[in-house]
Amino acid sequence: MEETLVLEIGQKMMEVIVMLSMPLLLPALVVGLLVGMFQAATQINEMTLSFIPKLAIVALMTVVFGPWMLDVWLGFTRELFQNIPVLIGLAG
């Protein structure tokens, strides 16, 4: 297997990881910022206050985007498995 092929697979893998993580991380970031602004405005310094809203939004986004995320993940895996003969040099 050539180095460029390994790098292409790695790049595609990183793209899939970013695509799968963004629907969960961006809403958690926004909720964390909003809770942080609320805490700063009200001077409530409870460390665990932001945990529950972040957990709830990540769970909600998993339910909303879960089927799409699973489809992307399975598509990448299926493509990788189908190309095994080409990747190891058995097919032309």
Q: List per-residue pLDDT tens for the chain, 92 residues long.
A: 678 888 999 999 999 999 999 999 999 999 999 999 999 999 888 888 889 999 999 999 999 999 999 999 999 999 999 988 888 877 65
DSSP class per residue in 26-45: HHHHHHHHHHHHHHHHHT--
Q: Where are the domains of the chain?
A: 3-87
Unique residue bearing structure tokens 């957990």? 55
Predicted pLDDT at 73: 96
**Does the pTM exceed 0.85?**
no
Q: In what helix (H) or strand (E) does residue 17 lie, and over which residues does it extend? A: helix 3-42
